[in-house]
Amino acid sequence: MSQAHLSKQYDQDLEAIRSRVLLMGGLVESQFRDAMESLHQDSAELAEKVVRTDAEINQLEVTLDSACTNLIVRRQPAANDLRTVMATTKVITDLERIGDEATKIARSAKNLQSRSALMVNNYQTLRAIAEIAGSMLHDALDAFARLDRDLAMNLISRDDTLDHQFHAMMRSLITYMMEEPRTISASLDLLWIAKAIERIGDHSTNLAEQVIYIVDGKDIRHTDHATAKPE
């Protein structure tokens, strides 16, 4: 079989995997959106839908990991091609973990259904941080689809804002719990939700870092992102 034919087959196999990864990303994005809606609407039915979707996402992770492994074994990619496959496996892992965080939000939302009075003062803050995390996830998937390093770098810069708002909410809830001990259980559920949203932002940042690794061949994890420049 000619080298050109092998290369074409590899490209087709990789594109098939990428398409399924983006499908998984779409499911995760919907899962996060549904989890937040289950909170805002006090909907146990929507929360259960989020939990059920998590099983589908878990199965996609297993299937896609296997597909990536088989691609490496069968096609033996090198250099840039291998880098792309390895980065894709990390993207798959982060997407599955975002699904886990969305499931945590849905479960905490169910716990809060009998405590709606406490929620009134926290809707706005939760919506604000969820909007940031949601936009980061959406842009991370878009950056991966188009291999857009500029979009990836832009969304990474938003993570500090998300972290700041999360910590501000955490301090507020801790103060509230000290003043009103009877609200501790509900406040803790709110903290778990806020933390899950913050973690979704972290995983979205991880996705963006993998896009930059694919495009530039530079691993910018655990580095000063502001200094990451294309060579």
**What does the pLDDT read at residue 153?**
95
104 versus 119: the higher-pLDDT residue is 104
User: 174-214, pLDDT tens digit by residue?
Assistant: 988 898 888 888 888 899 999 999 999 999 999 999 999 99
**What does the pLDDT read at residue 219?**
77
Q: Report the candidate in 226, 225, 195 with the shortest Cα–Cα distance to residue 209.
A: 225
User: 61-91, pLDDT tens digit by residue?
Assistant: 999 999 999 999 988 887 788 899 999 999 9
Per-residue pLDDT band at 121 (split at 50, 70, 90): low
DSSP string, 166-220: HHHHHHHHHHHHHH-GGGHHHHHHHHHHHHHHHHHHHHHHHHHHHHHHHHH----
Percent of the chain with pLDDT over 70: 90
**What does the pLDDT read at residue 181?**
85
This prediction has a pTM of 0.90
| Distances, alpha carbon 211 to alpha carbons 70, 114, 139, 204, 215, in Å | 22, 42, 11, 11, 6
User: 163-173, pLDDT tens digit by residue?
Assistant: 999 999 999 88
**What does the pLDDT read at residue 115?**
61
Mean pLDDT of all residues in the chain?
89
- Find out whether 38 and 102 touch, Cβ atoms under 8 Å: no
